[in-house]
Amino acid sequence: MNALDLELATTGKRVRIQALSKQYGAQTAVNRVSIDIPAGAFCTILGASGSGKTTLLKMVAGYERPSDGRIEIGGRDVASTPVADRNIGMVFQNYALFPHMTVAANLAFPLEMRRLPRPAIKAKVAAMLELIGLADLGARLPRQLSGGQQQRVALGRALIFQPDILLMDEPLGALDKNMRQAMQREIGAIHRRVGVTVLYVTHDQDEAMSMADMVVVMDQGQVAQVGSPLDIYNAPNTDFVATFLGDCNLIEIDRNGSEPTLMMAGGIRLPATALASRDTQLVGIRPERLLVSGERPECDIAMAGTVTEAHFNGADHDLVVEVRGKPLRARLANFGKAPPAVGSMTYLGCGYTDLIALDVTDIMSGKAKEQES
The string of pLDDT tens digits covering residues 127-174 is: 999 999 999 999 999 999 998 899 999 999 999 999 999 999 988 887
From 180, 207, 232, give the residue that closes a domain: 232
Give the mean pLDDT of 223-235.
95
Do 368 and 239 form a contact (C-beta atoms < 8 A)? yes
Q: SS3 for 74?
A: coil
Q: With a cut of 80, say whether residue 209 has pLDDT above it.
A: yes
DSSP state of 365: G
Q: With a cut of 80, say whether residue 102 has pLDDT above it.
A: yes
Rounded to whole angstroms, the Cα distance separating 192 from 62 reads 26
For residue 83, what pLDDT is reported? Answer: 93
Q: What CATH number should be reported for the domain holding residue 298?
A: 2.40.50.140
With respect to residue 342, please indicate whether it lies within any of the assigned structural domains: yes
For residue 173, what pLDDT is reported? Answer: 80
Which residues, in sequence order, are bridge partners of residue 303? 348
Let me know whether 110 and 156 are in one domain.
Answer: yes
Name the residue with higher pLDDT: 264 or 304. Answer: 304
Do 321 and 328 form a contact (C-beta atoms < 8 A)? yes
Instruction: Using pLDDT thresholds of 50, 70 and 90, give the confidence band for residue 96.
Output: confident
Helix (H) or strand (E) segment spanning residue 284: strand 282-285
Let me know whether 211 and 332 are in one domain.
Answer: no
In terms of DSSP bridges, do strands 68-73 and 15-24 run parallel, antiparallel, or are they unpaired?
antiparallel
Q: With a cut of 60, say whether residue 364 has pLDDT above it.
A: no
Polymer length of the chain: 373
Give the mean pLDDT of 110-138.
94
Q: Which of 141-145, 146-150, 254-258, 314-318 is the least confident region? A: 254-258
Instruction: Using pLDDT thresholds of 50, 70 and 90, give the confidence band for residue 201.
Output: very high
Percentage of the chain with pLDDT > 90?
Answer: 70
| Most confident stretch, 2-6, 92-96, 273-277, 295-299 | 295-299
Q: With a cut of 80, say whether residue 2 has pLDDT above it.
A: no
With respect to residue 149, please indicate whether it lies within any of the assigned structural domains: yes
Instruction: Of 91, 100, 108, 93, give the one whose Cα is nearest residue 142.
Output: 100
Do 79 and 61 form a contact (C-beta atoms < 8 A)? no
Instruction: Supply the range of the domain harboring residue 183.
Output: 3-232
For residue 265, what pLDDT is reported? Answer: 67
For residue 235, what pLDDT is reported? Answer: 93
With respect to residue 272, please indicate whether it lies within any of the assigned structural domains: yes
CA distances from 51 to 47, 55, 61, 196 (A): 6, 9, 18, 26
Q: What CATH number should be reported for the domain holding residue 64?
A: 3.40.50.300
Give the mean pLDDT of 27-45.
96
Instruction: Using pLDDT thresholds of 50, 70 and 90, give the confidence band for residue 356.
Output: very high
Write the CB contacts of 307 (distance below 8 Å, at least 6 apart in sequence).
319, 320, 321, 339, 340, 341, 342, 343, 344, 345, 346
For residue 99, what pLDDT is reported? Answer: 94
Write the CB contacts of 366 (distance below 8 Å, at least 6 apart in sequence).
none
Q: What is the mean pLDDT of the chain?
A: 89
Q: With a cut of 60, say whether residue 369 has pLDDT above it.
A: no
Instruction: Of 61, 19, 283, 325, give the one whose Cα is nearest residue 168.
Output: 61
Q: With a cut of 80, say whether residue 330 has pLDDT above it.
A: yes
The amino acid at residue 272 is A
Rounded to whole angstroms, the Cα distance separating 202 from 48 reads 8
Q: With a cut of 60, say whether residue 59 has pLDDT above it.
A: yes
Let me know whether 251 and 212 are in one domain.
Answer: no
With respect to residue 240, please indicate whether it lies within any of the assigned structural domains: no
Write the CB contacts of 72 (distance below 8 Å, at least 6 apart in sequence).
14, 15, 16, 17, 18, 78
For residue 255, what pLDDT is reported? Answer: 80
What would the pLDDT profile of 161-197 be if each residue is shown by its tens digit? Answer: 999 999 999 888 878 888 888 889 999 999 988 889 9
Do 280 and 238 form a contact (C-beta atoms < 8 A)? no
From 185, 203, 232, give the residue that closes a domain: 232
With respect to residue 102, please indicate whether it lies within any of the assigned structural domains: yes
Write the CB contacts of 95 (distance below 8 Å, at least 6 apart in sequence).
142, 150, 151, 153, 154
Buried b (16+ CB within 10 A) or exposed e, 306-333: ebeebeeeeebbbbbbebeebbbbbbbe
Rounded to whole angstroms, the Cα distance separating 211 from 28 reads 29
Give the mean pLDDT of 201-217.
91
Rounded to whole angstroms, the Cα distance separating 349 from 366 reads 26
| Number of compact structural domains in the chain | 2
Q: With a cut of 80, say whether residue 13 has pLDDT above it.
A: yes
For residue 251, what pLDDT is reported? Answer: 92
From 232, 257, 287, give the residue that closes a domain: 232
Let me know whether 225 and 257 are in one domain.
Answer: no
